[in-house]
């Protein structure tokens, strides 16, 4: 007799599963959503520690940061660069610390920690916003902060604009009806007006996002009114900033629009940095499918993410060799706006489809985030190592000199000509020589004919526009080898050494 078919209520025996598939399922059971979130938080801790290392060695004092710190310590006032008044805010903790202590090392650490905390707090704020509803969206700001590592400036007002905007973008996408989102948007408008000449682009972008949020809130007039007010405030801020940029820019700001300068201002300078920028930009659009898939199956080729730490190691090696050191590559600004737009699109699409559920969780978001974390940590530590090496070299250069004053020029002093000293061999080197110094008397490092002026007037011109009495520098930074004219010819009064070449 023919075999009877299986009853409808009984399923046929399942085919044996491949051991690798079964092992993957066991791993997923062992790695629930909460554990994946803990992995992201552990990655954030690693990033914070890497930035802490950079702050400990004084990396935020690279370039303009050293001048900002000098103004606070010597003059007792924060620096307001080119009427960018909101740039004062990160300097306030150090200014307050000067009322409690005059220890130069303590103040230096306070200044460095204040600026190093800005990107960490921005990324942490993004995670706090996205953690419950759409944790996979943390990948968009993580990609931006990976690319941001090619910049050395910790005090850039342009980058500060982006740090402030990232948590707001995710708030606007995931919590458009929450009053905290509206308050954040209202606070951003005046800050962007007072931060950077190019901040008008970010303000107008956020205004357009606010208009979109207002149009999507037809069922809630109160929400629509709130977003309309925010859009108007951001639009006014952007237009005022644009007019200010076109009419009120000074010669320094206009110089970057010159054909001979715009390329250097916008673009990275080494092959590794270019490759990292291309890889990050290729990885960002891959994340867009997250807006419609909660499983993360369309995360894209794993190779794109695997390349990030590899390219970061390449860029780190270039930095340690003295290549690719510059304040910032401003091209990261439009890329940051692009990443924000993608994040906003993904966030709103997920909340529009299933507003009551947690979306964009993605089973695999922890692994791409781990690649970003590794890249960020590698680059931050490489920059910190390069800066520590250069500051130790500068300390040794001033300590081993025989004179009362060292001439700073294109080929002098000799100790600054090594490739690994390129990170500190810039216009702020005379200030850095005071900030990073040993407890013993040191000579001043002064540009051009600064040593002659010091002997004649007792005023040290650390830059062409920064002259301070030698006695004041001694009081603020520690003992100097006096080179003022009245000691000339006395025993122990040494002559200046070094010649501009």
Question: Tens digits of per-residue pLDDT, 98-148?
Answer: 999 889 999 999 999 999 999 999 999 999 999 988 898 999 999 999 999
CB-CB contact of 133 with 349 (8 Å): no
The Cα 394–Cα 415 span in angstroms is: 8
Question: Mean pLDDT in the chain?
Answer: 82
The Cα 180–Cα 171 span in angstroms is: 8
Close Cβ partners of 302 (under 8 Å, ≥ 6 residues apart)? 367
The Cα 455–Cα 265 span in angstroms is: 38
Cα of 76 vs its chain's centroid, Å? 26
Confidence of residue 216 (pLDDT cuts 50, 70, 90): confident
The Cα 373–Cα 378 span in angstroms is: 8
The predicted structure's pLDDT at residue 168: 96
Lowest mean pLDDT among 52-56, 78-82, 240-244, 455-459: 78-82
The Cα 278–Cα 117 span in angstroms is: 27
The Cα 95–Cα 112 span in angstroms is: 13
> 3-state DSSP: the chain helix, strand, coil percent, rounded to 5?
65, 5, 30
Closest CA to 276 of 303, 315, 317: 315
Angle between helices 179-193 and 221-248 (to 10 degrees): 10
Q: Quickly count: other Cβ atoms within 10 Å of residue 501's Cβ.
A: 9
CA dihedral sign, ordered 163, 390, 319, 462: positive
Average pLDDT over residues 458-468: 89
Asked if pLDDT for residue 238 goes beyond 90, the answer is: yes
Q: 360-395: per-residue pLDDT in tens?
A: 444 567 888 999 999 999 999 999 999 999 999 999
The predicted structure's pLDDT at residue 70: 94
DSSP-assigned beta bridge partners for residue 467: 461
Q: 134-182: per-residue pLDDT in tens?
A: 898 999 999 999 999 999 999 999 999 999 999 999 999 999 999 999 9
With left for phi above 0 and alpha for psi between -120 and 50, is residue 18 left, alpha or beta? Answer: beta
Q: Cα 80–161–368 angle (5° rounding)?
A: 140
Q: 350 or 261: which carries more pLDDT confidence?
A: 261
The predicted structure's pLDDT at residue 301: 54
Q: Roughly how many angstroms between the first and final C-alpha of the chain, as a whole number?
A: 107
Average pLDDT over residues 305-328: 91
The predicted structure's pLDDT at residue 151: 93
Pairing verdict, β 466-469 and 405-408: unpaired
DSSP-assigned beta bridge partners for residue 460: 468
Lowest mean pLDDT among 179-193, 250-264, 309-323, 433-447: 250-264
Confidence of residue 483 (pLDDT cuts 50, 70, 90): low
Looking at the chain, the whole-number percentage of residues with pLDDT higher than 70 is 83
Confidence of residue 32 (pLDDT cuts 50, 70, 90): very low
Asked if pLDDT for residue 219 goes beyond 90, the answer is: no
Lowest mean pLDDT among 5-9, 38-42, 70-74: 5-9
Which stretch of DSSP H or E encloses residue 447? Answer: strand 444-447
Q: 438 or 291: which carries more pLDDT confidence?
A: 438
Q: 17 or 451: which carries more pLDDT confidence?
A: 451
Residue 64 CB-density burial (10 A; 0-12 exposed, 13-18 middle, 19+ buried): buried
Q: How many CA atoms lie within 13 A of 53 on its CB side?
A: 18
Q: Quickly count: other Cβ atoms within 10 Å of residue 167's Cβ.
A: 22
Asked if pLDDT for residue 9 goes beyond 70, the answer is: no
Largest distance between two CA atoms of the chain: 125
Asked if pLDDT for residue 25 goes beyond 50, the answer is: no
Pairing verdict, β 444-447 and 405-408: parallel
Looking at the chain, the whole-number percentage of residues with pLDDT higher than 90 is 49
The predicted structure's pLDDT at residue 276: 93
The Cα 27–Cα 287 span in angstroms is: 23
The predicted structure's pLDDT at residue 12: 52
Confidence of residue 277 (pLDDT cuts 50, 70, 90): very high
Closest CA to 316 of 263, 261, 272: 272
Asked if pLDDT for residue 317 goes beyond 50, the answer is: yes
Asked if pLDDT for residue 82 goes beyond 90, the answer is: no
pTM for the full predicted model: 0.85
Average pLDDT over residues 193-211: 93
Q: 354 or 304: which carries more pLDDT confidence?
A: 304
Q: Is 463 helix (H, G, I), strand (E, B) or coil?
A: strand
For 220, the token pair is: 């809630």
Close Cβ partners of 129 (under 8 Å, ≥ 6 residues apart)? 167, 170, 171, 174, 175
Asked if pLDDT for residue 295 goes beyond 80, the answer is: no
Asked if pLDDT for residue 27 goes beyond 50, the answer is: no
DSSP-assigned beta bridge partners for residue 361: none
Q: 391 or 5: which carries more pLDDT confidence?
A: 391
- Provide the 8-state DSSP code for 83: G
The predicted structure's pLDDT at residue 34: 56
């Amino acid at each position: 007799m023919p075999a009877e078919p299986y009853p409808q209520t009984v399923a046929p025996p399942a085919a044996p599963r491949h051991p690798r598939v079964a092992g993957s399922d066991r791993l997923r059971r062992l790695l629930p959503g909460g554990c994946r979130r803990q992995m992201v938080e552990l990655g954030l801790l690693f990033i914070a520690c890497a930035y802490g290392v950079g702050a400990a060695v004084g990396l935020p004092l690279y370039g303009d940061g050293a001048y900002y710190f000098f103004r606070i310590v010597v003059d007792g006032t924060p620096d307001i660069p080119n009427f960018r008044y909101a740039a004062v805010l990160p300097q306030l903790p150090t200014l307050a610390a000067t009322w409690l202590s005059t220890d130069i090392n303590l103040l230096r650490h306070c200044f460095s920690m204040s600026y190093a905390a800005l990107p960490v707090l921005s990324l942490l704020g993004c995670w706090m916003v996205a953690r419950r509803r759409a944790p996979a969206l943390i990948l968009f700001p993580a990609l931006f902060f990976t690319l941001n590592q090619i910049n050395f400036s910790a005090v850039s007002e342009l980058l500060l604009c982006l740090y402030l905007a990232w948590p707001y973008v995710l708030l606007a996408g995931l919590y458009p009806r929450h009053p905290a989102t509206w308050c954040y948007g209202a606070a951003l408008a005046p800050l962007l007006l007072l931060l950077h000449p190019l901040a008008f682009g970010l303000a107008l972008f956020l205004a357009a996002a606010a208009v979109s949020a207002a149009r999507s809130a037809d069922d809630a007039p109160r929400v629509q009114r709130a977003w309309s007010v925010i859009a108007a405030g951001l639009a006014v801020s952007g237009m005022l900033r644009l007019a200010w940029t076109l009419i009120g820019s000074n010669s320094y700001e206009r110089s970057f629009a010159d054909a001979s300068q715009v390329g250097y201002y916008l673009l990275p300078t080494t092959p590794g940095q270019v490759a990292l920028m291309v890889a990050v930009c290729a990885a960002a659009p891959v994340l867009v499918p997250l807006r419609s898939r909660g499983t993360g199956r369309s995360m894209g080729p794993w190779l794109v993410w695997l390349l990030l730490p590899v390219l970061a190691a390449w860029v780190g090696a270039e930095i340690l060799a003295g290549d690719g050191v510059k304040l910032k590559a401003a091209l990261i600004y439009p890329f940051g706006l692009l990443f924000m737009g993608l994040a906003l699109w993904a966030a709103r699409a997920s909340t529009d489809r299933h507003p009551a559920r947690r979306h964009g969780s993605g089973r695999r978001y922890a692994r791409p985030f781990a690649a970003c974390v590794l890249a960020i940590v590698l680059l931050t530590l490489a920059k910190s190592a390069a800066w520590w090496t250069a500051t130790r070299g500068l300390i040794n250069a001033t300590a081993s000199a025989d004179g009362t004053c060292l001439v700073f020029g294109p080929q002098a002093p000799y100790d600054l000509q090594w490739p690994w000293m390129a990170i500190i061999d810039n216009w702020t080197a005379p200030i850095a020589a005071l900030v990073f110094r040993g407890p013993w008397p040191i000579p001043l490092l002064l540009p051009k004919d600064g040593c002659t002026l010091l002997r004649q007037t007792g005023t040290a011109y650390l830059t062409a526009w920064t002259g301070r009495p030698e006695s004041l520098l001694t009081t603020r930074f520690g003992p100097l080898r006096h080179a003022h004219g009245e000691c000339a010819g006395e025993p122990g009064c040494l002559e200046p050494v070094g010649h501009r070449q």
